[in-house]
Amino acid sequence: MSVVSFKCKNCGGELLFDPDSQKFHCEYCDSYFTREELGEEPESKTEDPAPRAEAASKTGAAQREDEFSEGEVVEYTCPSCGAQVIAEASTAATWCYYCHNPVVLSSRLSNKLKPNKVIPFVLDKEQAEKAFEQWKKKKWFLKPGFSREARLEKMSGVYYPYWRINCRTQGHISGNAEKIRTWRSGDTEYTETERYQVVRRGQVELRDITFTAINREDIDLTQGVYPFDYSKAQEFSMAYLSGFLAERRMTETKDVRPRAQEKIRGYTREKLEDTVKGYTHFTVRDSGCQMEEEKWEYVLLPAWVMTYQYNGETYYYAVNGQTGKTCGRLPLSKARLAALFAGVTAVAFGVFSLIGGLLL
């Protein structure tokens, strides 16, 4: 397992990504660096200067190019203090337990595991904590004494792995529609029913359909801190992870594609249905959709998360690290933490070339 840390060019201290300035900050000498000033991403071990390469070579497994291996807990050597540290299978960036310096597990973010994009944190920890305080005030379920009794744990900034899909579809729907008109003349009420067969064909552009890339089972799609503004996404660089926690992806596109295609078909159908207007009823009898251009990206998205204990139970809370949108609920299992971010969002752009409305 190879690991990297990002060092200050002036004093050799650890650099942390600073959400306020969107630069890399040295807390020791108070220097700031841009992404460009950091220079090349230290991806390859052979090009790495000491002490990183030395530290890595102490672990027997370090020379092996680490690839996607599920469920593997690894031991690595902290580049700052040399301690042996254990990392969970899904960890991509963390802190050394001993010296508290940030460390990025570079082999879990390289080659085919390299993310395409990252949305860097915009909110810092203080802003996230303020958002939590405000959110807490509004919650009905917080019993009196909550603030006093709840044992608040540290709020952590975490990059979570996602698949982002953009695609174009050619869809069609057909179904039966009715226009019903009633009127009264004297003592007689008249009802006129016009029946139509409605057909719609169209091209739908779908953007930013987002699926978690963590392979946990009980994902609930109803809650979330979505959406994220992908126009602010950056080309991936490990340096953005410095000072944060990060999880790496644990799924391949093939694991997600069936569910993604189902969503895409659903969105396409919805978009076409939205264009059927002016009828009293409309029932879809048949629909179909062909995907024309499908673009998948592996992205890391930022969130501040916090767990808290209340009456012996564990609750979770999250803030979108880019927009500040908050979300919290009462799940009991740790796996459900993922659910906070597992919503599916999509923005659909225009529907073109419609053919519609045939009067029978």
Using CB under 5 A, list all residues that contact Zn ion. Answer: 8, 10-11, 13, 26, 28-29, 31, 78, 80-81, 83, 96, 98-99
Residue 100 or 232 having the CB closest to Zn ion: 100
Contacts of 53 (CB under 8 A, 6+ apart): 45, 46
CB 157 within 8 A of CB 300: no
Residue 85 or 337 having the CB closest to Zn ion: 85
191-228: b (≥16 Cβ within 10 Å) or e:
eeeeebebbbbbbbbbbbbbbbbbbbeebeeebbbbbb
Nearest residue to 166 via CA among 358, 295, 76, 35 = 295
How many helices and strands (H and E) does the chain possess? 5, 18
Q: What is the closest distance, in whole angstroms, from the C-beta atom of residue 300 to Zn ion in the complex? A: 23
Residue 10 or 193 having the CB closest to Zn ion: 10
Residue with tokens 């002016």: 278
CA distances from 257 to 37, 90, 164, 221, 264 (A): 39, 21, 11, 16, 10
Residue 25 or 271 having the CB closest to Zn ion: 25
Reading the block at residue 61, the tokens are: 């497994």
Residue 76 or 162 having the CB closest to Zn ion: 76
Residue 16 or 327 having the CB closest to Zn ion: 16
Q: What is the closest distance, in whole angstroms, from the C-beta atom of residue 27 to Zn ion in the complex? A: 8
Reading the block at residue 141, the tokens are: 């379920």
Q: What is the closest distance, in whole angstroms, from the C-beta atom of residue 31 to Zn ion in the complex? A: 5
Q: What is the closest distance, in whole angstroms, from the C-beta atom of residue 3 to Zn ion in the complex? A: 10
Helix (H), strand (E) at residue 137: helix 125-138
Residue 308, helix vs strand vs coil? strand
Residue 54 or 229 having the CB closest to Zn ion: 54
> What are the backbone angles phi and psi of residue 13, rounded to the nearest 5°?
-70, 170
Q: What is the closest distance, in whole angstroms, from the C-beta atom of residue 78 to Zn ion in the complex? A: 3
Residue 12 or 355 having the CB closest to Zn ion: 12
Nearest residue to 105 via CA among 16, 14, 3 = 3
The number of beta carbons lying within 10 Å of the beta carbon of residue 288 is 14
Q: What is the closest distance, in whole angstroms, from the C-beta atom of residue 51 to Zn ion in the complex? A: 12
Q: How far apart are CA 347 and CA 149, in angstroms?
A: 42
Q: What is the closest distance, in whole angstroms, from the C-beta atom of residue 55 to Zn ion in the complex? A: 10
Nearest residue to 19 via CA among 265, 320, 226 = 320
Helix (H), strand (E) at residue 335: none
Side chain identity at 90, as an amino acid letter? S
Q: What is the closest distance, in whole angstroms, from the C-beta atom of residue 13 to Zn ion in the complex? A: 4
Residue 86 or 355 having the CB closest to Zn ion: 86
Q: What is the closest distance, in whole angstroms, from the C-beta atom of residue 353 to Zn ion in the complex? A: 59
